[in-house]
Structure 1
Amino acid sequence: MHHHLCKNCDHTFEGNFCSNCGQKTNTIRLNWHFVKDELQYTFLHINKGFLFSVKELLTRPGDTVREFLEGKRVKHYKPILLVFVLAGLNGLLSQNIDYKGFMPKNDTKNIVANEMPKMMNWIFSHYAIIELTLLPLFSVCSWLAFKKYGYNYIENIIINCFASAQRLTFGLITIPLMYLIDTKYLLTFSSLISIPVYAVTIWLYLQLYKKHELGNVILRLLLFGFLATVVFFGAILIACFIFLYYLVKTGQLEIN
């Protein structure tokens, strides 16, 4: 068989792929044919991976997460990348939502209230960062709550990546409605929508651990919910402190 010299790592090998780094033997010149192949691969990868994972999370979330953890992964989009993509889409589609409708108007003394819409817009436009920042913390909570069921901490990160992706998918579905609702009802609507959004996470966990005793799973879910709530509001307090510190530092707020 003919020997090839890898153009990437200079390794000598036989066959169609380098045995050292995996690069193809046939590296064609970059042209329109190359662009066409790349676009076809990208579309097929999204269609077979991204859309498949989203469909599974909408129809059989817990079962598909369990199968992924057990090794059935070839059809799935990478979980962490899935969160990035969905969070990015959420941020992109929701960045023009007007949050000023439920804020005090023409109140020059209330600096915090006047600056709050900017903070909320920042949160939505950087939602991928926020989701991925909280994921390791929520995963500690789920690992502690469901420790006896055998999944390690890293596996809990993957579980929560899928749970986050599921919530973000339902969030994408509701974003068009937020543009249609009067801004003064936007906060109420967002609060009501959060109930079914987090209910689907409960559905995922109940299905994931359906082989265990239901009562025990529910108790562990309550513990997980309590721990996650403490973490979430702790993060909110820290964010508010940083926000107030920024206002003081920039001279927009004076402390007497």
Structure 2
Amino acid sequence: MSEKICSYCGKSEKPKRINSSYIVQEIEHVLHFERGILYTIRELLTRPGQNIRDFISENRSRLVKPILFIIVTSLIYTLINHFFHIEGGYVKIEDTKESTGMVINNWIQHHYGYANIIMGVFIAFWLKLFFRKYDYNFFEILIVLCFVMGMEMLLFSVFALIEGLTHLQLMPIAAVTVFIYFSWAIGQFFDKTKPVNYVKALVSYVLGMLTFSLSTVVLIVLIDFVVKR
């Protein structure tokens, strides 16, 4: 039977069968250095502020989509973390496995991508407050955080991998590195010429993490209260 051809574009109406070549092409497309995740990582390591501003206001085809980026990078960290058993996650709660706290804690550990996005909402609130003079709305700041926090997951992944292979205690150094990168990237995004922006970025990050953790504790208390009634 002859292959059906589209009369408008001249291409086959039926997609090619999925095989090993298709899988390889898809992987190459994602990792392509000019428009894929490797290019995005390079640009976010060298000029995060400028590249994210360009993504928001000018060209959104040069970098990987931000939500996809943070989910993929969080998945990489999750796999390394669970393979080497590096650390327990954002919220560590010493309790029985049946407790509400352990259920939420386990969910966070197994869903770093979504947990990062939720945490980003809290951090974005503080960034919007501290940088209210700049013309960026709440959702644009969330996009900024998807890129920056995605890079944080990659930095954690590198340190976790080295710690897993060498058994050196590197995660405290990783935490400091991530704090520095966040302050630098966010400060660059808003205005790299103002030193106060780097301080405000760091304070926003700390407050965002604290309010995220506090909200988690409040959620646990409320669920336990409702269940026990």
| Letter in structure 2 aligned against 1:69 | I
Q: Are the structure 2 counterparts of residues 38 and 27 from structure 1 closer, same or farther at C-alpha, using a change threshold of 3 Å?
A: farther
Which residue number corresponds to residue 153 of structure 1? Answer: 138
2:12 to 18, 26, 42: 26
Asked if structure 2 preserves the Cα contact closer than 8 Å seen for 1:94 and 1:124, the reply is no
Asked if structure 2 preserves the Cα contact closer than 8 Å seen for 1:145 and 1:223, the reply is no
Q: Are the structure 2 counterparts of residues 112 and 175 from structure 1 closer, same or farther at C-alpha, using a change threshold of 3 Å?
A: closer
Greater Rg, structure 1 or structure 2?
1
Which residue number corresponds to residue 233 of structure 1? Answer: 213
Measure how far apart 1:27 and its partner are: 2.1
| Letter in structure 2 aligned against 1:125 | H
Range 167-176 or range 62-71, more displaced: 62-71
TM-score in terms of structure 2 length: 0.75
Percent identical pairs in the alignment equals 22
Instruction: Provide the C-alpha distance between the structure 2 equivalents of 1:42 and 1:99, rounded to a whole number of angstroms.
Output: 28
Tell me if 1:112 matches 2:94: yes
Tell me if 1:136 matches 2:116: no
Which residue number corresponds to residue 194 of structure 2? Answer: 213
Map 1:123-202; keep pairs closer than 5 Å. 123-180=108-165, 189-202=170-183
Q: Are the structure 2 counterparts of residues 46 and 30 from structure 1 closer, same or farther at C-alpha, using a change threshold of 3 Å?
A: same
Post-superposition Cα deviations, 1:201-232, rounded to whole Å, max 9, x if no partner, equal 111012212355333x2453355245314313
Post-superposition Cα deviations, 1:161-181, rounded to whole Å, max 9, x if no partner, equal 111111011011112133246
1:65 to 27, 47, 52: 52
Instruction: Provide the C-alpha distance between the structure 2 equivalents of 1:133 and 1:94, rounded to a whole number of angstroms.
Output: 20
Measure how far apart 1:237 and its partner are: 2.3
Instruction: Provide the C-alpha distance between the structure 1 equivalents of 2:81 and 2:200, rounded to a whole number of angstroms.
Output: 34
Measure how far apart 1:72 and its partner are: 2.2
Aligned-residue RMSD, C-alpha: 3.6
1:91 to 52, 70, 78: 78
Q: Are the structure 2 counterparts of residues 177 and 124 from structure 1 closer, same or farther at C-alpha, using a change threshold of 3 Å?
A: farther
Measure how far apart 1:122 and its partner are: 5.0
Asked if structure 2 preserves the Cα contact closer than 8 Å seen for 1:92 and 1:125, the reply is no
TM-score in terms of structure 1 length: 0.68
Instruction: Provide the C-alpha distance between the structure 2 equivalents of 1:213 and 1:197, rounded to a whole number of angstroms.
Output: 20
Asked if structure 1 preserves the Cα contact closer than 8 Å seen for 2:182 and 2:201, the reply is no
Measure how far apart 1:88 and its partner are: 1.1
